[in-house]
Structure formats: structure tokens, C-alpha cells
Amino acid sequence: MGIKYDESPEVVFSSVAPEVYHGSHQQGHEMSESQSNFIKPSNTPYYQPGYAPASATPTTNYQNTLNYPPPANPTRGPSKQRFLCGCTLTVLILSIIIAVLSVLVIGLSAGTGTATSNYNIANQKLQALSASYAALKAATVSVSSASEPSATASATSEETDKTASATSATASATSTSYSDITLGCSDEDESTTGTNYISEFYDKTEYTIHCNHDAPNDLLFSLFTGNFEGCMEACTAWNSNSVTNSTLCQAVSFIPLWTNITIAAEGYAAGDCYLKPKPQTIAKLGTPNIGTECHAAIRSS
């Protein structure tokens, strides 16, 4: 075991700072091994009774060997990842995006397929119609070629039909052409005048017929009835309606020519039947002066 030395600084009586005495190389080596766990002494200056402390703090070679490195910063552990439905949030979002894109692609494919199918069907129908039209056109041309020799005969037939129609129109203006809608007044006026007609609806009103006469007084209402019976039924309906019966219909005037609406429109006629209010008497019946037939009927009950 080597010789141990006191490491305390020697006190001198002068103002010169104390010197530190170092041993030999071998002693220094032994000191290093024996003082490996040396704890740095406090900075309090050495004190000995009867001596004043030195003005400067002595230094040793151990001051630089006892500085410990600062503790390293603790490392953070792996952060907790958020899980949802057994997978991370990022994976879940990506999965949803992929699913949505897949649905869109499938829907687009289905729509495209449907549109293509509809187009093909429409195209087939168009082709079928085109073929039918071509066949019909060819058949029409064939029939036209075969019927050209008979064109003169057809024209002659049309002229004959026009002549017959004109003759019929002339006959329709005669006094006997409206007998079926005037209860016989058009060709049997003498035997029909004075006969009665009882309405089929409402209160079974009875009317007395006067052929070739016109009922007087102002007009209540005009309408198209088509025949003499319908005109008298309209008068009965007028009296049965609570809205119109404040002014009773007492007589009617029927003009058979104006049952043809085209002719009535040309003459600015508002109907073929004209409802007239009371009072009505046979003596007040007038003679028609309108260039065509007119027949009257007076309500008797």
C-alpha cells in the first residue's frame, strides 16, 4: 500500500495563494483509483483556528473530473392510436371512400347498360318502321299505276255526286223536308195546328201547337234543341228550375232551318228554339217574316 498524503492545502503566512502539492506519477495513479467515487467537497475554505482564511478559493485537479452529465430527456412512448370497428380511423375513412366510389362505378355501369339497351330497341323499331314504310310505298305506287286508266271514270262519278248533293240541298229547303222534326207542321200544318203535346219530363206540361206562327213578347232564352218536341221540353225545364222560374216560359217558337248549326251561324242565329214569357193568346200570335218556317206552341196547363 502506498504512502497517503493529505490533500488539504497548506497554509502560508503570506498573501500568496496556497499551492497544491502533487505526489509522484505512481502516487497520482493510486489516488485516481482510490478516489473514483470521490464526492466534490463544498466550496467552504479550509479553516484552522488562529489563521485567517485565504482570499481566493483553492482549486484542485478533481474539479473537472467530478462534473456529471445532465440526465437525458425521457423518450416518449408510442402514442395511442384511435381504433373504430377494429381498425384505425384512417383505414376506416379510406374504406368508406373506396366503398362509395365502387357504388358510383356500379351505378354508372348499370345506367350505361340500360341506356344502350333502350337505344338498341329503339333502333330496331325504327328499322322495322322504315322497312314497313318502304313496302307500303312500293304497294301504293303499284296500285296508282294500275288505277290510272280509271281516272276519267272517277272524275265523272265525282261530278255526278256533286250534282246529286246540290239537288238534295235544294230539296231540303222545301216545306216537306222538316216534317219529321216539326210534328207534321211542315207539310200538314192544317191538321197539326190545334193538337196538343204533353212534355215527358218534370210536371207533364201540356202545349197547344200552332203551325206557321210566331209567339210574341220578348225573348227569355234561346238554345239548340234539334226538334219541336225538344223545344217544348226546354220550356218545361225552365219553369221547373228554381233559378229561372221567377219568369215563367209560356210559349215557344221553333225554326227548323236553324237546327243546322252552320246555317244558323251564317244567319247569326243563337238557336233553333226561343222561349217566350206570358201573356200569350192565340189572337196575339204573329205570322213569320224570316224567310223560312216558324212554328209556335202555347202552354195550356
**Could you report the per-residue pLDDT of 213-239, keeping only the tens digit for each?**
999 999 999 999 999 999 999 999 999
Task: Evaluate whether residue 214 is within a structural domain.
Answer: yes
More confident: 117 or 80? 117
Last residue of a domain, one of 32, 62, 92: 62
Q: Say if residues 297 and 228 touch (Cβ distance below 8 Å).
A: yes
* CA 205/CA 227 separation, integer angstroms: 17
d(CA 292, CA 263): 12
Q: Is residue 38 part of a domain?
A: yes
pLDDT confidence bin for 107, thresholds 50/70/90: confident
Q: What is the pLDDT of residue 58?
A: 52
Is it the case that residue 67 has pLDDT exceeding 70? no
pLDDT at 169 over 70: no
Domain boundary among 43, 62, 81: 62
Number of domains observed in the structure of the chain: 2
Alpha-carbon distance 258 to 217, whole Å?
20
Burial of 153 (0-12, 13-18, 19+ CB in 10 A): exposed
Return d(Cα 180, Cα 15) in angstroms, integer: 167
pTM: 0.44
In a domain, 23, yes or no: yes
Residue 207 φ then ψ, to 5°: -125, 150
Residue 249 lies in a domain: yes
Long-range Cβ contacts of 100-107 (<8 Å, 24+ apart): none
**Residue carrying the nine cell digits 482549486:** 59
| Residue 109 covered by a domain | no
Phi-psi map region of 190: left, alpha, beta (phi>0 left; psi -120 to 50 alpha): alpha
Q: How far apart (Å, rounded) are the C-alpha atoms in residues 110 and 265?
A: 62
Q: Could you list the residue range(s) of the whole structural domain that residue 223 is in?
A: 180-299
Element (H, E) at 198: strand 196-198
